[in-house]
């Protein structure tokens, strides 16, 4: 009987340690998750704004196209995606994203020969 009591005590101690570990992990992750949510809301608030941005950063364009930064830079370099330079800053006109997507759609609509 003492064996069962000791096993139960050990199991309870292990469960408490696991619970403490999970709670500590949740406390550590909470600020990171909150920062991510705030960043996503800030980036998406432009889409809902009465005055959406006319020029986007490469990161914002990548987010809207569901691509990575490197992919967007490659599209800009190849000329497939229009961009403008203001001083040393590269921006993507919001209309250029629409043009790019329409170009992709027309490519898929064309019959293959």
CA 51 → CA 29, 39, 55, 65, 112, distances in Å? 34, 19, 12, 20, 40
Question: Are residues 60 and 69 in contact, defined by beta-carbon separation less than 8 angstroms?
Answer: no
Q: Which pLDDT score is estimated for 10? A: 78
Q: Which pLDDT score is estimated for 48? A: 61
Q: Where are the domains of the chain?
A: 1-51, 55-109
Arithmetic mean of pLDDT, 56-71:
95
Q: Which pLDDT score is estimated for 112? A: 62
At which residue do the structure tokens 């408490």 appear?
16
At which residue do the structure tokens 């009465």 appear?
50
End-to-end CA distance of the chain: 81
pTM: 0.55
- Please tell me which residue, 38 or 90, carries the higher pLDDT value: 90
Pairwise CA distance, residues 63 & 51, whole Å: 19
Q: Which pLDDT score is estimated for 64? A: 93
Q: Which pLDDT score is estimated for 58? A: 95
Mean pLDDT of the residues in the chain: 83
Q: What is the pLDDT of residues 74-106, one digit of tens each?
A: 999 999 999 999 999 999 999 999 999 999 888
């Amino acid at each position: 009987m003492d064996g069962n009591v000791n096993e139960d005590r050990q199991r309870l101690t292990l469960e408490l340690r696991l619970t403490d570990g999970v709670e500590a992990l949740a406390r550590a992750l909470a600020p990171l998750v909150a920062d991510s949510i705030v960043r996503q809301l800030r980036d998406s608030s432009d889409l809902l704004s009465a005055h959406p941005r006319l020029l986007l950063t490469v990161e914002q364009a990548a987010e809207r196209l569901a691509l990575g930064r490197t992919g967007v830079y490659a599209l800009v370099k190849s000329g497939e995606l229009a961009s403008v330079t203001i001083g040393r800053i590269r921006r993507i006109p919001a209309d250029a994203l629409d043009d790019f997507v329409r170009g992709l759609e027309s490519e898929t609509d064309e019959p293959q020969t």
